[in-house]
Structure 1
Amino acid sequence: MILFTIAIIAGLLLLVWSADRFVFGAAVIAHRFNVSPLLIGITIVSVGTSAPEIIVSTMAGLSGAGSLAVGNALGSNIANIGLVLGVTALISPILLEKGLIKRELPLLLIVTLVTGYLLYDHKLTVIDSIILLLFLLITLYVVCYKNSLDSSQADNDVIDQEEATKTPLGKTIGWFLVGLIILLLSARLLVWGATNIATSLGISELVIGLTIVAIGTSLPELAASVASAVKGHHGMAIGNVVGSNLFNLLAVMPIPGLIATTWVEPGVFSRDYFVLLLSTMILFAILVFFKQKNSLGHFAGSFLVVGYSSYLLWLYQTHQSV
């Protein structure tokens, strides 16, 4: 028990430190290349924090458990909206960029609808996966090209200008990569310690899976988004969530379908996909509603967290009745 407790404490400390270094590296990279933090969040940060989902999806596809990979991608996206964005907004209000509501969020909604259409027959084929990957290329082009036309700069007011300028680019990229690696490893260490403590206390594997493991896979996104918002890199914070969701649907989910035709359990589509679609539509409505205030605050954060908690409770009750 002592070892597991130490693992949790060490995991939390490393998670906070690595998130700080990871976000600092990403912010300085945005500053050095004079690009929008939103673009960095949607691309580099989201791809990095989605690494656990990529590994799970690949291993599941190779072992013939492709349905698990599809469920993992959908579940991660639900957690990103309800848990990651909700908790981040509770800790520090997130300033909204106009381009996000006009471009990236509608794109996410379209991708979510296309994913539902492809999963409607409860299977993911090679053709389906290729379609999703084509949408990935289109999405990357639209996001990168449109953001490059924006006049928004890096968050120069919240970056130490002297440190950002004097820090060598190689060292900045090094901090970014070291922060990402330790971020992912510390999340795994935290989940390992919490899972073993829960098991020793007699908590069922179902409850552990629905809570500790489910939340654990979203810890990198949560830590990166909270650190970004606290440091004032708001575009990076919300860009991480939107980018991770796009990446999960267009790059993570197709992996098992490329390996072999993947049959998806009916419950994954009828329950998890529709919760994801509803969550995405609610997020869109919330951002449009709060557009005049230009920020996502405590009220919206509370609403998202309560919604995610309700989903976990429903998921638990569904499994209990089976």
Structure 2
Amino acid sequence: MLIDLVVLILSFVALVWSADRFVFGAAAIARNLGISPMVIGLTVIAMGSSAPEIMVSATASLSHRLDTAIGNAIGSNITNITLVLGVTALLKPILVASSTLRREIPLMLLATVLTGFLLSDNQLSFMDGIILISLFIIVMAYLIWYSQRQHRHQQAMKDDAKDEMISQYEAEIPKQVKTSYALFWLLVGLIILPLSADYLVNAASNIARYFGISELVIGLTIIAIGTSLPELAASIASIIKKENDIALGNIIGSNIFNLLVVLSVCGILAPGKIDPAAFARDYWWMLATSAAVLGFSLLTRPRRITRLAGALFLVTFIGYQLMLFL
């Protein structure tokens, strides 16, 4: 038990570190190849915080632990909103100024509703995976098209009229990095990511069996919280740097990736039946918290996530965790 706990902690550290190195290398190579910083920001950088969830869920699926993979995806979305966004908003209210972000939030809710429809039969099929990955491609194509159109439209406008989130993402992309150096870190990330994910899933499963906890719950709690650490660190860092749009954009982007990429990977690699509680209980928490983000950020004036909203999210996180364990 003690060895599994040590392995779990070390695996989380390796997972988060290797995901960061992977994104660094991929973003630097993409910039060196002449890919638009705007496109890199909306794809590679946005994907970075979901890399742990993608790798853990893929590993769990291939190990015939589909419930752990499903729990990781759903639990990460709940944790991203209730814990990560809750803590971030308590530190500083988040103003939703980016027009791109105001389109991502309804898309996140749309993806959540579609996911509920697909999981309502208590199974994740190969076709479900194809539907989810197809929607992901459509969503990303739309966001890239819209952002590029906005960028062209704003070329002649004043700087303060430009979409701040795109500008902030562009500033995060590594500059003047040698391709060989970037390739080295890309390969390091590609090697350590799956290895750390494999150790993490095995250790978490052993701990779940020791305490008599279902694999779904271990995915919803320990693994989901651990794989959400990059979002928490990134959002707090963004608030400190006064990059409000990235602070929220990381969370929304990660949730979209978790639903449309992480779950699609599960369905394509290891389709099968899932624990009925995933839809009957946990999905509705995910839907409610996602709808709350839309309500707090877009249906209020001014559009912002206040400290009160942050406190409510954090209380919800604590209540949800207590419900699972008790």
Name the TM-score class by shorter chain.
Answer: 0.7 to 0.9
Give the corresponding residue for 1:128. Answer: 128
User: Using a 3 Å threshold, how does the CA distance of structure 1 residues 251 and 155 change in structure 2: closer, same or farther?
Assistant: closer
1:95/1:34 Cα in 2 relative to 1: closer, same or farther (>3 Å)? farther
> Partner of 2:58 in structure 1?
58
C-alpha deviation, 1:259, in angstroms: 2.6
Distance 1:34 1:295, change over 3 A: farther
- Structure 2 residue runs without a partner (length 5+): 152-162
- 1:250 deviation in Å? 0.8
Aligned-residue offset at 1:34: 7.7
What amino acid is aligned across from residue 44 of structure 2 in structure 1?
I
How many residue pairs align between the two structures? 302
Structure 2 CA distance for partners of 1:216 and 1:155, relative to 1, 3 Å: closer
2:229 alignment counterpart: 219
Q: Deviations over 1:16-55 (max 9, x none)?
A: 9x98xx89x98xx99x98856xx76653233112122112
Write out the 4+ residue segments of structure 1 that deviate beyond 3 Å after TM superposition: 32-36, 39-42, 167-181, 203-214
Question: Could you tell me which residue of structure 2 aligns to residue 256 of structure 1?
Answer: 266
Using the TM superposition, give the Cα deviation of residue 136 of structure 1 relative to its aligned residue in structure 2, in angstroms: 0.7
Q: 1:246 to 1:34 in 2, by over 3 A?
A: same
Corresponding residue SS for 1:150: helix
- The yes-or-no answer on 1:281 pairing with 2:291 is yes
Partners of 2:185 and 2:287 in 1: CA distance? 32
What amino acid does structure 1 have at the position aligned with 2:62?
L
2:325 matched to which residue of 1? 316
Q: Does 1:84 align with 2:84?
A: yes
Q: 1:281 to 1:35 in 2, by over 3 A?
A: same
* Stretches of structure 1 lacking an aligned partner (at least 5 in a row): 318-322
Alignment of 1:25-64 (within 5 A): 42-64=42-64
TM-score (norm 1): 0.73
Helix, strand or coil: the match of 2:167? coil
Contact 2:42/2:144 (CA < 8 Å) preserved in 1? no
1:109 is the counterpart of 2:109: yes
Aligned partner of 1:144: which letter?
I
Which amino acid is 1:259 matched to?
L
- Displacement of 1:212 after TM fit? 4.5
- Counterpart amino acid of residue 265 in structure 1: D
State, as a whole percentage, how many aligned pairs show the same letter.
Answer: 35
Superposition deviation, residue 80 in structure 1: 0.8
SS at match of 1:139: helix
After TM superposition, give the deviation of residue 205 of structure 1 in Å: 7.3
Q: Distance in 2 between matches of 1:252 and 1:104?
A: 18
RMSD: 4.6
- After TM superposition, give the deviation of residue 127 of structure 1 in Å: 1.1
Where does residue 320 of structure 1 map in the other structure? none
Whether contact under 8 Å (1:41, 1:243) holds in the other structure is no
Q: Equivalents in 2 of 1:176, 1:229: separation in Å?
A: 27
> Could you say if the C-alpha distance between residues 179 and 272 of structure 1 is closer, same or farther in structure 2, counting changes exceeding 3 Å?
farther
1:154 is matched with which residue: 167, 170, 174? 167
Partner of 2:311: 302
Pick from 242, 249, 258 the counterpart of residue 252 of structure 2. Answer: 242
2:243 to 230, 233, 240: 233
Q: Which moved more, 1:139-148 or 1:229-238?
A: 229-238
